[in-house]
Amino acid sequence: MKIEVNGNFYNVEVTGNKAIVDGKQIDLKLDKEEEIVIGENHYFLDFFEEGETSLMIINGFSYLVTKGVLDNAPFGELKAPIGGQIMDVFATAGDDIVRGQVLVTLEAMKMENQVKSTVKGRIKAVKVKKGQLVKGGEVLITFE
Min dist. Cβ of residue 126 to another protein (A): 15
Choose between 49 and 92: whose C-beta lies nearer to another protein: 49
Nearest-angstrom CA–CA distance, 31 and 104: 46
Q: CB 140 → another protein: shortest distance, Å?
A: 8
- Binding stretches for another protein (CB under 8 A): 1, 3-10, 12-14, 19, 21, 26, 28, 30, 33-34, 36, 38, 41, 43-50, 53-67, 73-82, 108-111, 113-116, 118-119, 137
Q: Which is nearer to another protein, 112 or 133 (CB)?
A: 112
Task: Give me the least distance between CB of 122 and another protein, in Å please.
Answer: 15
Buried b (16+ CB within 10 A) or exposed e, 83-121: ebebeebebeeeeebeeebebbbbebeeeebebebeeee
In DSSP terms, which residues pair with 35 in a beta bridge? 32, 44
**Considering the complex, what minimum distance in angstroms separates the CB of residue 131 from another protein?**
20
Contact criterion met (CB below 8 Å) for 43 and 33:
no
